[in-house]
Structure 1
Amino acid sequence: MPSEEGAPFEDEVVEVPVDGNLDLHLFHPRDVKDLVTEYLWACRQRGILDVRIIHGKGTGALRRTVHALLPKLPEVESFQSASEADGGWGATWVRLKAG
């Protein structure tokens, strides 16, 4: 059962479908770096090279965390804010290198 804020409890396991869309609203901010890194790796393993990370608009803290992490990951070819139809600045499109 999720906490009042909608995030999972400490010991709750959340299954994340590897479908090219990662919604960070369900996770604690402290887990974002590891989650994004592992998710992008899993997408690349499945041949999913275009990935949308939904971080929300809010204060922009999650967006800044994601944007600071992406250039450090060798599998990331490029990234950009989503179009308004895909979430605007509340989401980021990531292009992964074929591997």
Structure 2
Amino acid sequence: MIRTVGGSALGVLGIGTGPIAAQDRLTLTDPSPDVRRYALDRLLGAARLAGALGVPVTLGQTRGAFLPGLADMQRAWAERALHQLAEEAAARGSRPAPGPP
């Protein structure tokens, strides 16, 4: 992607993560640890790309939905993951940006 954009007149304003949740159904609050881990891996990859391009990475729907009886635990999962994502983005020269509600 970097070569494609770099060789054109196109500009990248940010890296969106909506498809990670909307299409692939991967969220940071999924009850399955494997799904959460894969979601975070995908988000970290997006943060690395955003850093390489010097743009923010959006978070959008990747938080997921809170379920009755699990909401407190899910908040903790999401918070830990978002800290990791923020650290990765900062280390790469980017930053997380909130996506649409």
- Give the shorter-chain TM-score range: 0.3 to 0.5
Higher relative contact order (CA 8 A, sep 6+): 2
TM score, norm. by length of structure 2: 0.45
Structure that is richer in helix per residue: 2
